[in-house]
Structure 1
Amino acid sequence: MDPIEAYERVKSSILEHHKWFDSSLPMIASENVTSPAVKKAMTSDFGHRYAEGWVGERVYAGTKYIDEVESIAIELVKKLFNVKFADVRPISGVIANLAVYTAFTNPGDVAMALPITKGGHISMGPLRGSEGQFIGGTAGAVRGLDVKYLAFDDHNMNIDVDKSIKRIEENKPKLVILGGSVILFPHPVKELSNVCKSIGALLHYDAAHVAGLIAGKQFQQPMEEGADVMSMSTHKTFFGPQHGAVVTNDEEKFEKIKLANFPGLLSNHHLHSVAALALAAAEMLAFGEEYARAVVRNAKALAQALHDEGFSVVAEHLGFTQSHQVLLDVDALGGGYKCEKLLEEANIIVNRNLLPWDIKRGR
C-alpha cells in the first residue's frame, strides 16, 4: 500500500466511523463522550510537549503553563474526591492500578481481588488461573503478584463479606483490591477495612467505572469508608479524556505513588489529556452531582423497562443496579456474542460480558 492510499483510507475510515456513530446508540459502560472544550484541549499544543516529573520539578523547560494546568487538575481532583493528595499523571486506569501495585507490593506478594467472571478487571488478574490456564492479568503478568480471589455472592452480585474476611485472614495479602469492571452495587469497603488493617494489607479501591458517580456523590465514598488509596480512569462515568489518576489521604503513601509514576512507569504523561482532565474536572465540579443522579436514574429506568419487556435482567430483587451498569442474562437468546452482533447490526452498540454463572455453563 502506498502512503497516499494509506492516508486516504485512514481518513475515510475515520469519517465513516463518525457517520456510523452519529446514527448509532453507543451503550458500552466503559465509554463516554466529552464536551467540546475538553475535546479541543485534547488537540492542543500540549500534545506535542514533554514534562517529565512533578509540577515545579520538571526535567524539561517550557512547562510554565503546563505546570499551571496540571496544578489546577490536581486541585480539582482533590476537591471532587475530598482527599488530600492526587496524582493525575497516569495515562490510563490500568497504569493507575499498576502505579498502586508498584508503590506498595513486590513481585511474589499476595494480592486479593475479584476474578474477571465475578466483575474483576483484567488489570487485577493473575498470570495464570488455578488450573494453569493463561490469563495474563496486569497484577500477575506485569508486577508478578500472586493473585488470590475474594469470595462473591452470585445472587446478590456483590462481595461475600464473611467468606472474604476468612480468605483474607488465611492468605494474608499485601494488597486487597475492591472495585472492578462490573459493579452494580457499592462494594463493602467499610466491612473489609478492619481485617485489612489487622493484617497490614493495603486496601485499594479501583474506581475506574464509578469515579464520576463518586465525584457526583451518587455512589459510595470509598476514601471515607476505609480505602487507603483509590485509582481511576477518567473517561467512563467521569466524562473526561482517556486518562487516569490515583488519590489518597496519606502523605507517605502518596510519595510512594509519585515515585511509582515517575520515574517508575511514566516519562511524559500525555499533557493534552491532563489539560482535558482539568477542564472535565471543572465541569464535574459544576454539574457532576446532577449528571451522576441522572445516570443512575436512567440505568434503573432502562433495567426496569427491559425487565417489563420480558428480558432477564440481573439482580431484580435488589432494584437491578445502583450504578451506570445494567446486566442482562441472554443465555436463552443465544448468548452474548450473538446478541451483541444483532444489536450492532441495528446500530445499538453494547458489549458482552461474563456473568458469574457463565463458567458453569461451559463458557
Structure 2
Amino acid sequence: MQESWRDEVSLLPEELKEILDITAKHNRWRKYETINLIASENTMSPLATSAYMSDMMHRYAEGKPFKRYYQGTRYVDEIEVRVMKLMGELLRADYVDPRPISGTTANASVFRVLGKCGSKAVIAPVQAGAHVSHTKFGTLGALCIEHIEMPYDPDQMNIDVDHAVKLIEEVKPSFVVLGASVYLFPHPVREIADAAHSVNAKLVYDAAHVLGLITGKRWRNPLDHGADLLTASTHKTFPGPQGGIIATRDGQLYKPISRAVFPYFVSNHHLHRLPALAVTAVEMKHFGEAYADQIVRNARALAEALAAEGFKVLGEHLGYTRSHQVVLDVRKQGGGAKAAQLLEEANIIVNKNLLPYDPPDAIKDPSGLRLGVQEMTRYGMKEDNMKDIARFMRRVLIDGEDPRKIAEEVKAYRREYTKVHYCFDVNTLEDGKLYLLY
C-alpha cells in the first residue's frame, strides 16, 4: 500500500509536486516550528477546522437565510441562523450579520450607510492604532467620507476624552469610530458615545482585535456602554475562521446596514465559514472566559518579562497592557523592520508597527513591534513560557546571537506546544460523530 502511494505521487506533474511541497512546508513551519506573536492571527480548533472543510465551500447563497437567489441552501440557511443566534448570545446583541467576509468588509457596510460622500467621520490617528479601513487611506477614502483625527493622549496611550468630546461637538460628524489595531487599553466608550449622540452621530466600535476578550468577559462590551454598532473580524482573539460580523441592538439601524452587506460589498459570503464560526462560538461559550483570562495574564507576563530583559515596553506606568497585545520600541535594536526580520529568522513571528510618536511616512520602517499572545495561549503556553519567549527575543535583538541558532532552539521548544486548548477534544467524541472532512 505504501509503495503504491509513493508510485502515484511520483506520477504527479512536477509543478503540482512543488505546489504541494510549498504548502506542506508552510504548514509545518508555522504550526509546529515557530512562536507566532502576530496580534491579528489565531488558529481554529480541530473540530472547527473539520467543520470548515465542508461541501459548503463549493456553494453559493446570495441574500439572507430563507430568502436566497439560489436553490440548494436549506442547510446553509439553518447554519447561518444558528451563527446569528450564537454570536448574539455571546455579545448580548439582538441583531447579528455574519455575511461580511472580513472586518474591513463589515466596516465598509456600516460606513456606507452611516455616511455619504462629503460627510465627516471622527477616528483615532493611524499612529495611535486606527485600522487602515477607518481612514482616508482605506475604506473612508474609497467612500469619499472626510477623515478627521480624534485627539490622542500619548501619555495615557488612549483617546484624549475632553478634547475629543469638544471636537465631536464642533465637527458634528455622521459617525465616530473607536477600536483599533494597536490596542493596549479600553477606549472611553461611554464618554465618546454620549458626545456622538449629542450631535445625532452614531458610534461604531471596531472590535476586531478584542472580540474574543469581549465574549470571554475580559474586555467591556461596547454595546453595554453606548456603542450603536460593533464590527469585528472573527479570527484574532476570537479563534474562528477568517471573516467578519456586524452586531447591534438597534433594529432600525440594522436593516439598512444588512441591505448594504449584500449586494454592495458581498455576493456569496464564503459559506464554509459558517459551520466553523458556529463551532467556535459554542466553544467560546464553554471555554471563552478561561481562554480570555489566560490571554490577558500572558500579555502582562510577556510585557514584564521583556522589560526585565532590557526592552523598552510601552505603557509601563499603566501596567503595560490590558489586552492581548504588547508594544515595543525597538529603535535601539535597529528599528521595527530590522527587528521583525531578525526575529523571523529565529522562528519568532511578529510585525513591525508605527508607534504614537512616529510620523505616518515611517510605515516601512517604524519604531515599534506589535506582539500578540492569543495564538500561543491557544497552544497551551502560560506565564512562565512568556519569560522564555522574552529571553529568546533578547538573545536575538540585544545580545546579537545568530538567529539561525535560536531558530533551532525555538523549533525544539515549540514541539511541546502543538495541541490546541480551550476547545472540545475531538478524541472524546463518540464514533461516527465527526465525519465532516471528505
1:4 positional shift: 3.7
1:8 positional shift: 2.4
> Does 2:74 correspond to 1:73?
no
Closer, same or farther in 2 for the Cα pair 1:270/1:299, shift >3 Å? same
Contact kept, 8 Å, 2:35 with 2:347, in 1: the verdict is yes
1:169 positional shift: 1.6
1:246 counterpart SS class? strand
Structure 1 match to 2:189? 189
Closer, same or farther in 2 for the Cα pair 1:84/1:318, shift >3 Å? same
CA distance in 1, matches of 2:76, 2:38: 32
1:281-308 Cα deviation digits (max 9, x unpaired)? 1111111111000000000000011111
Structure 1 match to 2:355? 355
What letter matches 1:226 in structure 2?
G
What letter matches 1:88 in structure 2?
P
> Does 2:283 correspond to 1:283?
yes
CA distance in 1, matches of 2:88, 2:106: 16
Structure 2 match to 1:19? 28
What letter matches 2:138 in structure 1?
G
CA distance in 2, matches of 1:212, 1:11: 33
Closer, same or farther in 2 for the Cα pair 1:50/1:297, shift >3 Å? same
CA distance in 2, matches of 1:309, 1:57: 58
Which TM-score applies when normalising by structure 1? Answer: 0.94
In the TM superposition, 1:317-356 aligns within 5 A as 317-356=317-356
What letter matches 1:298 in structure 2?
N
Structure 2 match to 1:221? 221
Structure 2 match to 1:178? 178
User: 5+ residue gaps in structure 2?
Assistant: 1-11, 367-438
Structure 1 match to 2:111? 101
1:361 positional shift: 10
In the TM superposition, 1:1-363 aligns within 5 A as 4-21=13-30, 22-126=32-136, 136-140=137-141, 142-359=142-359
Q: Cα RMSD (Å) of the superposition?
A: 1.4
CA distance in 2, matches of 1:6, 1:120: 42
1:334 positional shift: 0.8
- The more displaced of 176-185 and 12-21 is 12-21
1:105 positional shift: 1.3
CA distance in 1, matches of 2:66, 2:187: 37
2:245 counterpart SS class? strand
1:326 counterpart SS class? strand
What letter matches 2:281 in structure 1?
A
1:327 counterpart SS class? strand
Structure 1 match to 2:423? none
1:164 positional shift: 0.8
CA distance in 2, matches of 1:5, 1:108: 54
2:238 counterpart SS class? coil
User: 5+ residue gaps in structure 1?
Assistant: 127-135
Aligned residues between the structures: 351
Contact kept, 8 Å, 1:27 with 1:348, in 2: the verdict is yes
2:104 counterpart SS class? helix
1:123-166 Cα deviation digits (max 9, x unpaired)? 0011xxxxxxxxx31111x2111010001111111111011111
1:247 counterpart SS class? strand
CA distance in 2, matches of 1:115, 1:152: 7
1:68-116 Cα deviation digits (max 9, x unpaired)? 1111100000000011110011000000101101122111110111121
| Percent of pairs with identical residues | 48
CA distance in 2, matches of 1:263, 1:336: 40
1:333 positional shift: 1.1
CA distance in 2, matches of 1:10, 1:191: 53
Contact kept, 8 Å, 1:38 with 1:240, in 2: the verdict is yes
Which TM-score applies when normalising by structure 2? Answer: 0.78
